[in-house]
Amino acid sequence: MASTGGETVYLTLRARILSGELVSGLMLREQALAEELGVSRTPIREALRRLDEAGLVTVVPNRGAQVVPWTIEQVRETYFVRAGLESRAAGLAASRITPDEIAMLSVLIDAMEPLVTAEDELGITELGRLNAEFHRIVVTASRSPQLMALTTSVARVPLMEAAFRAHGALYRSRSNHQHRDILTALRTGDTIWAEAAMRSHILGARNAVSDA
């Protein structure tokens, strides 16, 4: 079982890799990470081992660990899996979501709207964070432990922000409009619509990421 310190370090590094902050090919060195995060090398070593098992880094003996680059085929396959899992989650959420969760999704959509025209790194990063939170809430609202576990295990390809940059304001605006469609389906309790809207949204993102 992972120690508390190792778990925190693992989650921190995993989030930074999946957000794209730690770019593919980057060498992660134990001592430097330990100093940066204010921990000993033991939880760093433990976290890097788990990241290696998760396929996010490759451990290089006596050097540290290298962030694994994603191939286009891996990107496309990951989005296919996400489309299946999250569309099912949205379908279940249509009959299980709470008014508070509906309200949170509405707030997130409104918060994303002014960021669709962002050109700075902070704006794009924040848009990516809010987007991920939107999807997390929908999956949580499914009330399915299996789907929550499975969607957590499927890595969110660290290229979403690249797609936001490459495709500009029109793509971002369309993406947030799709969020509104998903929210309307959830609000009305329409299981079929919610499932179809989420599947279309994620497969559209897959195409954009593949082209980024």
**Domains of the chain (ranges, CATH numbers):** 4-67 (1.10.10.10), 72-211 (1.20.120.530)
Q: Among all chains, which residue has been given the structure tokens 């936001």? A: 164
Q: Which stretches does DSSP call E strand in the chain?
A: 27-28, 57-60, 64-67
- Torsion sign over Cα 11, 12, 14, 15: positive
pLDDT digits (tens, 9 = 90+) for 94-143: 999 999 999 999 999 999 999 999 888 788 878 888 998 999 999 999 99
Percent of the chain exceeding pLDDT 90 equals 54
The amino acid sitting at 143 is R
Mean pLDDT of the chain: 87
Query: What three-state secondary structure class fits 139?
Result: helix
pLDDT digits (tens, 9 = 90+) for 27-68: 999 999 999 999 999 999 999 999 988 778 999 888 889 998
What does each C-alpha distance from 116 to 75, 175, 199, 202 come to in angstroms?
A: 23, 9, 21, 17
Tokens of 79: 């989005």
